[in-house]
Every structure is written in C-alpha cells, then in structure tokens.
Amino acid sequence: MAVPSSSTTVFNLWRQLTQARLDKSTPMAHQLAKINEMRVVLTNASMGITNNQFCLILLHALPDSYEVLASTILASSAPDKLKHSEIITWIINEEACQSESLLNLAKVTPIKSNSNKKKDHTNLTCHYCNKKGHIKPDC
C-alpha cells in the first residue's frame, strides 16, 4: 500500500483500522496481516499508532467467540506491557484450537436409542410366571 496523500484517505484508513472486525470464516493470519498493513501505512503517513493502541484495536476486532481469549490477554499483564506480536500469536493459536475442537466434535458418533426396537425374548423365562418367551414387565 502506498502512503496516503490526502487527509480524507488517512481518515478513511484510520476508520477501517479502528472498526476492523475479524471473521471466523476466514483465516485469521490473512486478516491480521491486512490490519497490520493498515497500521504500517498510517505510520508511514505520520499517523503513528502506539503499540498499546494497536493491541487494543486487535482485541476489539476479535469475534465474540474469542471473548475468553481477550479477557485472558487483558488479565495477563498491564495494558502498557502488551505486545501486538504476542496477541497475534495468541489469536492464531486460538483459531487452531477452535478448529480442532470443531473437528473433534464432528467426529463424535451420536448415541443411538434402542427404545423403538423390541428385544427377542423367545429363549428367556419370565421370573413372574415361569413361562418362556417373555419377561416379567411384559407378563
């Protein structure tokens, strides 16, 4: 991306960056690279963004399903100690974990109910009447 030449271009890029939302249906690495590219372009246009601001932008951009991750990151250290490179790594790792969980969930075999099937009791003896062919609840 080239350095923006007008104030309107810089403003629009700033809006895109601060309003960015990550989408779970698209690989996070690609989206994060695009967001980082916007940050670099703004920095080159003398519209620098601090590391702390960029970290908060990244956390704000996370999908709702990443809320626990965002809370964990924020609780892990003071806001001025956050590093965007670490946050990006955490996001990509979380994406891998969530993808793996979905794959494992898809592999789970549903439990089949046998409630509709009548069992064969022809060789059993009823404990109530001592006759063959049925059991006590069917007597």
Name the residue among 68, 133, 123 with its Cα closest to residue 94.
Answer: 68
Residues 6+ apart with CB under 8 A from 6: none
The 10 Å Cβ neighbour count of residue 25 is 5
pTM greater than 0.75: no
pLDDT tens track for 89-101: 999 999 998 887 7
Mean pLDDT across 114-130: 77
- At residue 13 the predicted structure's pLDDT band, cuts being 50, 70 and 90, is very high
Distance from the Cα of residue 134 to its chain's centroid: 53
Residue scoring higher pLDDT (104 or 18): 18
| DSSP H helices in 19-48 | 28-44
pLDDT of residue 123: 85
CA 25 vs. chain centroid, Å, equals 10
